[in-house]
Amino acid sequence: MLRSFTQVKNSVIVAWMCLVTSMCLWGSAFSVMKFLLSHMTPVTMMTARMLIGFLILIPGAILLKIKLPKREHLTLFVFMAFLEPCLYFLFESYAVLYTSATEVGILIALMPISTAFMAWFFLGEKTGKFSTVCLLICVFGGCLLTLSSSHRQEAQQPILGNLLAIGAVLCSSGYIILAKKLTSDYSVLTLLLFQLISGTVFFSFWWIIEGCLIPSLSHGVFTSLLYLGIAVTIGAYGLFTFSLSTLPATTGGAATNIIPVVAIILGVFVLNERLSVAQWLGCLIILFSLFVRELNRLIKTRFFS
């Protein structure tokens, strides 16, 4: 009995470590992207990121003989991949180019609430009044963060960059809705491989149109590309999926609030980004509304379920 309890406890600890690590990796991506965008275009960066992830994942996919999409599901697969990685990473990359990594990280934190709203709108899933109020407060915080932005060295067109970040959030929320329909029939590896293939083709096409620009690959640039392609694109997703094999999905969703915290810390202390008082207020409003919403959900789950 004691041994069984210890094994369960250890598995939960490992799952939590994987979950937190995946969120930290995703949160660190914005600062890494900001660094890379000072050496190459967004399209070049995303082409390299998708290609690295594809080359790393394809041998495992061949060995495991993953299930291919059925003809009746192909449209859903294509639309899913078009939303993410194609549009999502395109919007996200240009958002990081035009505004600060800190602001993008904060706006990406709107994703759980945006997804809940889309699930209510498209799937008919119930969204409580309290969650709706939190959504409106988050929108207010996002508007404050965007409208109070001004031209800075790290944020050349902050309003455009923030709008692109919000577009990335909407694309990712749409992707989650479509992926939810497909996960009952296909493995995570199948979805991820299809995304990487689609992303590689999509960004390679734009890279050719852009003129096949090849950046100078210093040690820092090359290492950062490998970090994005392996650690963030494959590693974070794999660790997150593994953690959900032990932890409930609601815990995984709540943990996404770690992402903006990591983005702020790295943006401020590594990239030396600076936010105005109004922008910090917008950040705090978004984080506070997310915290209150999650706290309310936990209280209801614990005492009323």
**Looking at the 3D structure of the chain, how many domains does it have?**
1
Residue 286 CA: distances (Å) to CA of 108, 110, 129 = 10, 8, 17
User: Residues for the chain: how many in total?
Assistant: 305
pLDDT at 250: 52
In contact, 114 and 169? CB cutoff 8 Å: yes
> Phi/psi class of residue 124: alpha, beta or left (left: φ > 0; alpha: ψ in -120 to 50)?
left
Question: What are the beta bridge partners of residue 152?
Answer: 155
Q: Among 150, 174, 176, which Cα is nearest to 161's?
A: 150
278 domain-assigned: yes
Report the chain's terminal Cα–Cα distance, integer Å. Answer: 28
pLDDT at 50: 93
pLDDT for 77-112, tens place per residue?
Answer: 999 999 988 999 999 999 988 988 878 877 877 776
> Which range marks the domain in which residue 249 is found?
12-304
pLDDT at 82: 94
pLDDT at 288: 83
DSSP state of 186: S
7 domain-assigned: no
1 pLDDT exceeds 50?
no
pLDDT at 2: 41
DSSP string, 173-208: HHHHHHHHHHTTTS-HHHHHHHHHHHHHHHHHHHHH
pLDDT band at 3; cut points 50, 70, 90: very low
State pTM to two decimals.
0.78
52 pLDDT exceeds 80?
yes
Q: Among 209, 205, 228, 225, which Cα is nearest to 217's?
A: 225
> Six-digit token pair at 124?
């008919």
How much is the mean pLDDT over the chain?
81
pLDDT for 187-231, tens place per residue?
Answer: 778 888 898 899 999 999 999 998 888 888 899 999 999 999 999
Report residue 132 CA to chain centroid gap: 22
pLDDT at 225: 95
pLDDT at 149: 60
5 domain-assigned: no
DSSP 3-state assignment of 152?
strand
